[in-house]
Amino acid sequence: MWEIQMNPLNQKEALRYLGYGQNPPPENIMEMMRQCEQELMSAIQPRFVYKIFDLEKNHQNQTALVNCALSLEGDSIQNHLQDCTKAMVLCATISSQVDRLLRQTEIRDMTKAVIMDALASVAVEQVCDTIEEKLAQEMKGWYFTWRFGVGYGDFPLALQKQVVAVTDAAKRIGLHVNESYILTPRKSITCVIGMSQEMLGKKIRGCAVCNLKDSCGLRAKGSRCHW
């Protein structure tokens, strides 16, 4: 396994999370963002664990992971893995030290805390991007679907526990799930990535399958969170 080098954080993306969209933020906010990034970078400890499983059709003609206790419930994940022969279950976190820094920052300065929270969300996504890039290099000839998050679409959030169990993520990277299926440390991601040796067509992704579509502030303003 390799170590993940953190790239500078994508500030534009963080600004989008903060609602700025294309609007340029004032200089004092940008200055805070730079400070936050610096503090965050010293707290982040990226860790990840993944397992790759073969896919098969089970007796109900549903796609299933071979030799794995994680069930692929829901039309959206079934559809997502339609043309795949393998699937990767990936868990990543940027560590509980980040949670601690966020708590401390909330006490010291709420403005910075909000900015830092957005940056931390960006950071964990970037960690996943890096992992995917590396894996793509290692596994020449394989095509990946985008990362299908647990709880996205109708892929039940209640499967968090199974995802963490099958990857042994508690022991391997310190990732846990609480009774409400919330991941701790907070800035963590669990997802399923489909793999195929054939080129994969673009899968639907966006507001239509999103759980938050009825309450999304971005959507209300005519914007969206993905590209």
Partner 1 sequence: MSKINVKEMKYMLLDGGMGTMLQSMGMEMGTIPETLGITKPEWILDIHRQYVKAGAQVIYANTFSANRYKLEHCEYSVCEIIQAAVRNAKKACEGTDCLVALDIGPIGQLLEPTGSLSFEEAYDIFKEELTAGAKAGADLVVFETMTDLLEMKAAVLAAKENTDLPIFCTMTFEENGRTFTGCSVSAMALTLEGLGVDALGLNCSLGPKQVRGIVEEFLKWTTLPIIVKPNAGLPDPVTNKYDVSPEEFCTAMEELAHMGVQIFGGCCGTTPEFIRQLSHMLRNQDFVIKRKETIVPAAVCTYANTVCINQPRIIGERINPTGKKLFKEALKNKDMDYILNQAIEQVHGGAEILDVNVGLPGINEKEMMVAAVKAIQGIVDVPLQLDSTIPEVLEAALRVYNGKPIVNSVNGEEKSMEAVLPLVKKYGAAVVGLTIDEEGIPPKAKGRIKIAKKILNRALAMGIPKENVYIDCLTLTASAQQEGVMETLEALKYVKEELGLKTVLGVSNISFGLPNRESINHTFLTMAMMNGLDLPIMNPNIASMASSVRAFRLLKGYDVNSAEYIQAYKDVQIKTAAIATGVQKEPSVQRGQIEQLDLMGAVEHGLKTEGAKITRELLKSKDAMEIINHMLIPALDKAGAQFETGKIFLPQLILSAGVAQAAFEEIKKHMSHTNQAPVSKGKIVLATVKGDIHDIGKNIVKVLLENYGYTVIDLGKDVEYQAVVDAVTEHQAKLVGLSALMTTTLVSMEKTIALIHENKLDCKIVVGGAVLTPEYAKQIHADFYAKDAKETVDIAKQIIG
- List C-alpha distances in Å: 148 to 9, 27, 31, 168, 193: 22, 36, 34, 19, 6
Look up residue 43 and give its two tokens.
């707290």
Q: Which residues of 193-213 are buried (b: 16+ CB within 10 A; e: fewer)?
A: bbbbeeebeebebeeebbeee
* Distance between first and last Cα of the chain: 30
CB-nearer residue toward partner 1: 137 or 201: 137
Q: Which residues would be at the binding site for partner 1 (CB under 8 A)?
A: 1, 18-20, 23, 25-29, 31-32, 47, 49-52, 67-69, 95-97, 99-100, 102-104, 106-115, 117, 157-158, 162, 166, 170-171, 173-174, 176-182, 184-186, 211-212, 214-215, 217, 221
CB-nearer residue toward partner 1: 27 or 202: 27
Q: How far is the CB of 226 from partner 1 (least distance, A)?
A: 16
The Cβ-side half-sphere exposure at 103, using a 13 Å CA radius, reads 7
CB-nearer residue toward partner 1: 79 or 97: 97
Q: How far is the CB of 227 from partner 1 (least distance, A)?
A: 21
Q: For residue 78, give the DSSP letter.
A: H
Q: How far is the CB of 160 from partner 1 (least distance, A)?
A: 10
CB-nearer residue toward partner 1: 2 or 202: 2
CA pair distance 110, 114, nearest whole angstrom: 6
Q: How far is the CB of 131 from partner 1 (least distance, A)?
A: 11
Q: How far is the CB of 119 from partner 1 (least distance, A)?
A: 11
Look up residue 210 and give its two tokens.
């999103």
CB-nearer residue toward partner 1: 17 or 201: 17
